[in-house]
Chain A
Amino acid sequence: MKIIKLDQISNAVIDLITHAASNLSEDVIKSLNNSLDIEISESGKSVLNKIIKNAEIAKSEDRPLCQDTGLAVFFVEIGSDIAIEGGTITEGINEGTRKGYEKGYLRKSTCDPLTRKNIGDNTPAIIHYEFTGGDKLKISYAAKGGGSENMSRIKMMKPSDGIQGIIDFAVETMEIAGPNPCPPNIIGIGIGGNFERSAIIAKKALFRNIGTINPDKELAQIEQTIYNKINKIGTGPMGFGGVCTALAVHIIKEPCHIASMPIAINIECHSHRHGSVVL
Chain B
Amino acid sequence: MEFKKITTPLSEDTIAALRTGDEVLISGTIYTARDEAHRRLTLLIAENMPLPFNIEGQIIYYVGPSPAKPGEVIGSAGPTTSYRMDKYAPVLMEHGLKGMIGKGKRSEEVKSAMKKYKAVYFGAIGGAGALIAKSIKSSKVIAYEELLSEAVRELTVEDFPAIVVNDIFGGDLYNEGKLKFAGKFK
Chain B associates with chain A: yes
- Chain A nearest CB, measured from B181 CB (Å): 4
For chain B, give the interface size range. Answer: 35 or more
- Chain A nearest CB, measured from B40 CB (Å): 11
Q: Mark B120-161 against chain A: 1 for CB-CB distance below 8 A, else 0.
A: 000101111111011000000000000111100000000001
- Complexed CA–CA distance, A53 and B134 (Å): 12
- Complexed CA–CA distance, A154 and B36 (Å): 28
Please name all residues of chain B whose beta carbon is closer than 8 Å to the beta carbon of A147 when the two chains form the complex. Answer: 80-81, 103-104, 126
Is A224 in contact with chain B by the CB < 8 A criterion? Answer: no
Is A108 in contact with chain B by the CB < 8 A criterion? Answer: yes
Work out how many contacts link A and B, with CB atoms closer than 8 A. Answer: 175
Please determine whether A67 and B78 come into contact, CB atoms closer than 8 angstroms: yes
Is A182 in contact with chain B by the CB < 8 A criterion? Answer: yes
Please name all residues of chain A whose beta carbon is closer than 8 Å to the beta carbon of B180 when the two chains form the complex. Answer: 41, 234, 241
- Chain B nearest CB, measured from A223 CB (Å): 15
Interface residues in A44-79 by Cβ distance below 8 A to B read: 44, 46-47, 50-51, 53-54, 57-58, 61, 63-69
Residue of B36, B66, B80, B105 touching A64 (CB-CB under 8 A): B66
Please determine whether B134 and A57 come into contact, CB atoms closer than 8 angstroms: yes
Total contacting residues, chain A, CB less than 8 A: 54
Please name all residues of chain B whose beta carbon is closer than 8 Å to the beta carbon of A57 when the two chains form the complex. Answer: 130-131, 134
Is B174 in contact with chain A by the CB < 8 A criterion? Answer: yes
Binding site for A on B (CB under 8 A): 1, 21, 23, 35-36, 63-69, 75-78, 80-81, 83, 103-105, 123, 125-131, 133-134, 147-150, 161, 163, 173-174, 176-186
- In the complex, 23 of the A-B residue pairs with CB atoms within 8 angstroms, ordered by the A residue number, are A40-B181, A46-B23, A51-B127, A53-B128, A54-B128, A63-B130, A64-B129, A66-B76, A66-B78, A66-B127, A67-B64, A67-B78, A145-B127, A146-B81, A178-B104, A178-B174, A180-B81, A180-B103, A232-B185, A234-B184, A238-B126, A239-B174, A269-B127
